[in-house]
Amino acid sequence: MGVPVNPAAAAEASVPSIPAAPGRRGEGKLAALLLAPTVIGIALFTLVPIIGSIVLAFFDWDIISTPKFVGVKNFQTLASSPTIRVSFLNTFGFVLIAVTLQIAVAMTLAVLVQSKMPGWLRSFFRSVFFFPLILSAASVSLIMSYLFNEDFGTINKLLGLLGMSPVHWLTSTTGAMVVTVLVYVWQNFGFTFLLFIGGLASIPQDIYEASDIDGASPMKRFWQITMPLVSPTMLVATVMAIISALQIFDQPYVLTKGGPGDSTRTAVMVIYQSAFQELQFGLAAAIGLVLMLIIMLVTWLQFRLSKRFVFYM
């Protein structure tokens, strides 16, 4: 008498076994190996300098002698120094004017470029507006210092042809700040412009078509359709523009050396002068730490307040 056979068991036995996939532990080791160069690089060139700067802010060190612990003395010097106080006020004023102008110019040009025009012309304007960003800030500022020179600058020569008297662009308090803002905005608005181009391109065209049917004016379309839908891009552009403007150094250093007086001296310029000209590395680290905290605070406030004006589709 034969042994009964279970059909299901027989079918299962006839199926060839499939090798097991590599375990999660092996995949984790591979991922760690691939990420190691990046993590090590960030640790060495970002985290270590940040920690070192925080520690150095509590020391007095001229890079020659042994560091001396001074506690909060550097921060007391920072709070009592008129030059440092003016440099921070100049930086805040510059950020307010430059970022507002940069956002306004970039948004206006992005709307115009995204309007009805041939594709090749749109690509041309995108390249032209982005071009200044790839140039060296120092070289651009050097060229602009010649253009705005009071005695032989091209700008004053053109004004002279129009019957106007020369303007003290770089030797007056107001003129120096105006030139610094214009040079900075001219060189940096291209990146913000491209951000807005991407934001405008993501808006569905049928929304504009519906507004045309309803008879909405161009200005009404801009404020009630374009601005709300591009608000996430506006947030990113504003955050990045403010962070960049708070760290301005090249333009005022090359154009005016912080003058006349201290009218264009910025926080980063004081950090550079304290560290590399006066050899007060502890004070420079303290100023840098305060500036970093200000940047973090401003960025946090922007994201916190963004809930009121940012709309996501």
The sign of the CA dihedral 134, 139, 141, 144 is negative
Distance of CA 59 to the CA centre of its chain: 30
pLDDT of the residue at 187: 93
* Most confident residue range from 24-28, 96-100, 115-119, 308-312: 96-100
pLDDT at position 173 over 80: yes
Model confidence, pTM? 0.84
pLDDT at position 6 over 60: no
DSSP annotation of 21: P
Domains and CATH numbers, the chain: 75-308 (1.10.3720.10)
- For 219, the token pair is 């200005």
pLDDT at position 7 over 80: no
pLDDT digits (tens, 9 = 90+) for 34-74: 888 888 988 888 888 889 899 999 999 988 888 899 989 99
pLDDT at position 15 over 80: no
Q: At a CB cut-off of 8 Å and minimum separation 6, what does 107 contact?
A: 196, 234
Which of 188, 175, 189, 160 lies closest to 255 in space, CA to CA? 175
Q: What is the mean pLDDT of residues 186-196?
A: 93
pLDDT of the residue at 20: 47
